[in-house]
A and B are shown apart, each in its own frame.
Chain A
Amino acid sequence: MAWTRNVLRVNLSAGTCTPEPLNMTWAQDYLGQRGLATKYFVSEVDPKVDPFAPENELIFVTGPLTGTMASTGGRYSVVTKGPLTGAIACSNSGGYFGAELKFAGWDMLIFEGASPKPVYLLLIDGKAELVDAGSLWGKTVWETEEEIKKVHQDPQIRVAAIGRAGEIGVLYAGIVNDLHRAAGRSGVGAVMGSKNLKAVAVRGTRTDSYPLANPKAFLAATEAAKKVLAANGVTGQGLPTYGTQVLMNVINELGALPTRNHRDIQFEGAGDISGEAMHRKRPTDGKANLVTNGACFGCTIACGRISRMDPGHFTVKDKPQYQGASGGVEYEAAWALGAANGVNDLEALTYANFLCNEHGFDPISFGATVGAAMELYDLGILTKDEVGFELPFGSTEAMVKLAELTARGEGFGKEIGMGSRRLCAKYGRPDLSMTVKGQEFPAYDGRGLQGMGLAYATSNRGACHLRGYMVSPEVLGIPVKMDPQATEGKAAMLKAFQDLTAVVDSAGICLFTTFAWGLADIQPQIQAACEGDWSPERLLLVGERIWNMEREFNLAAGLTKKDDCLPPRLMKEEAKTGPQKGAVSKLDVMLPEYYEVRGWTAEGVPTAGTRARLGV
């Protein structure tokens, strides 16, 4: 059945762990992971809840294909109301942790309330226990994992933890598992910190908890689908060789790489921080930044970057803890820590990325907020006195200093930890915040790629590239090539991407498979794993239902059509250089069409007909 049918409800206020059966009607309507947990969440939590109040819930959830031989079948998500956005937050992570939850026999962990003192949840198969985390509070993600394995004398335990950033409420703190994989966006780690929950540690040895509907068909379907990934240029070659960093030069040359807080649309230092640069031998020590590629659980793509820094680099000299190999920069992180603030020092980006993993905060929102601060400084609004040091665009020293300060919540790092929207509002220039719904943009400019602009404006969790990846049609030609500047057909294509993405995010597999897989490759795997009839049409309906459910939550939380917008810079300031020179976002043209395609009113509210059709 692919679901374990077990949910663990943890009341942190009362200190209780209570198993309950999974609502199988909801599993049939929402599949798993993102969809299923969101259904639980919207059914149990007041949309107006303060994200840091005990009444907010935090849900860890797997999908039916998590912990199976389906390629990339190791994903889990964390669902909550996000403190950065005030919208639904759903962050997805790989690594080994999600599969281990299934092996221990759990589909979902629902955390309610807040613990009076720091604790972590220990799950050994069916046994759940809240353990005192007093000695772990203040420790890094890396120290926490090591300590938990040591205390329980079990190196095979998997750990998802928050670092200092989550404890002190950095609004974009993430939850990091397996040292360098993260449910990174929207501040899910800050909510975890507000509940005094330091970590979830799990070990699973059960062999009988989620029998598949049709094992033979499942193995045949997953094997066929793996061959599709291996034969595809992106998933078979580009991603294993360069990781997502394969995009840095491509997007820059296309003129869609936001640079210096989106003042520019091309970065002169892109080549220095690209995937190709990670392969190049450094003149200093003769070694490349990239050591090898690494896979998450069950993944036959293996896009992960494992990097080792130049031990002589000023950031890590005399700091042996950063001189070994660890999770290197991926495209969005390299962009945010680099292009977004004009820094082209790959080693410094790697160091800042290590800090993000070690202390648990999102490199995208962090880097983009530094970019905003640098612009405020450039305009003379922020001064050296206020920051504590010079903060010009392109300053490597300032970027890494701010990463250190943000991780610890010290000095000007406190301001950076609030994110770009609050920072720019505080200094009287809200227009300079490159965000949607309070969340910072990732690495594609909405002027250069019109469809991505629409995707950002309408994403239910704020600016995000993982809710409808219009880069696929607009750059890569998947499934068809679309002109980046055209507006025609973008709304319909985006809806299709958003709905399909919701299915993928609810299944337990990685979105990156969709560079090669279409629904025709995914559907047989779900069908063979899960009981019931999972036709492609039904799956797309599930995806659309999930999208509308998230939308309804956001509307009830107080968001409106006005929040489906882009910053004035993208609407008015023309792209300065490159193939997209002169472009501004044509969101005004696309948004009404999008609402119509979605079956929403002109105010962006699902019509009664749409609601009835989807059963939301």
Chain B
Amino acid sequence: MQKSLHLDPNKCTGCLQCEMACAWEKYETFTIAKSRIKVFTFHHEGRFVPYTCTQCDEAWCLIACPVDAIKLDPVTGAKIVLEPTCVGCKVCTIACPFGTINYVAQTGKVQKCDLCDGDPACAKACPTGAITYVDADWTGLGKMRAWAGKTDTTAATA
């Protein structure tokens, strides 16, 4: 079964544990500038929104790459940057409509979420369940359940 990162902004408090976990996983630093997941604060709306790559099936970044440096991991479904192949041309950063693949000046390559080989550090670090790693086919299950709970069935059973 393939899994998918599931982001629920309603549960996010903006603590940035996910960003630290990501930076630590990939660079062994807590400096969140290195994180591939970002939490955005919409202060005047009182909203915190985590955001990262959704691993498109037809991935713009992968298609745009002129040197085939982005590959599909058939197990996790992640689109993975092959660092030795990447030439840092940044075409993928232009092609991605979501801004979730970015250049890293330190390495001269691009980076994006690779789902940590199927065990994403951000989801493990999230204290509120705003980031979970769930059955890719059922990311809507929680919402369905919430709506199901609102169904009035008491009259029928009375």
Contact = CB atoms under 8 A, between A and B. Distances in A.
Interface stretch (A205-213, A359-367, A383-391, A426-434): A205-213
Interface in A190-209: 204-208
A303 to B, nearest CB: 10
A99 B29 CA distance: 12
B62 interface: no
A207 B15 contact: no
Interface in A153-192: 156, 179
Contacts of B31: 67, 103, 204-207
A292 B46 contact: yes
B17 A69 contact: yes
Interface string B26-39: 01111111100000
Main secondary structure of the interface of A (DSSP, over half): loop
B119 to A, nearest CB: 15
Contacts of A294: 13-14, 46, 48
A169 to B, nearest CB: 29
Given A207-B27, A207-B31, A324 B45 contact: yes
Given A96-B16, A302-B13, A325 B45 contact: yes
Nearest to B40: A155
Contacts of A300: 15, 17, 127
Contacts of A156: 33
Given A69-B20, A69-B24, A308 B46 contact: yes
A201 to B, nearest CB: 15
A179 B43 contact: yes
B2 interface: no
A405 interface: no
Contacts of B46: 291-292, 294, 306-308, 325
Interface in A353-403: none
Interface residues of A, number: 37
A308 B47 CA distance: 12
Given A215-B28, A295-B13, A302-B15, A69 B33 contact: no
A293 interface: yes
B29 A326 contact: no
A53 interface: no
Contacts of B33: 103, 156, 204-205
Contacts of A471: none
Given A69-B30, A204-B31, A207-B29, A297 B15 contact: yes
A298 B16 contact: yes
B44 interface: yes
A48 to B, nearest CB: 41
Contacts of B125: 69
Interface in A62-113: 67-69, 71, 96, 99, 103
A230 B45 contact: no
Interface of A: 67-69, 71, 96, 99, 103, 156, 179, 204-208, 215, 219, 226, 230, 240, 291-300, 302, 304, 306-308, 324-326
21 contacts: A68-B20, A68-B30, A69-B17, A69-B20, A99-B32, A103-B30, A103-B31, A103-B32, A205-B34, A207-B23, A207-B34, A219-B24, A240-B13, A291-B45, A292-B48, A295-B15, A296-B15, A298-B15, A299-B15, A304-B13, A324-B43
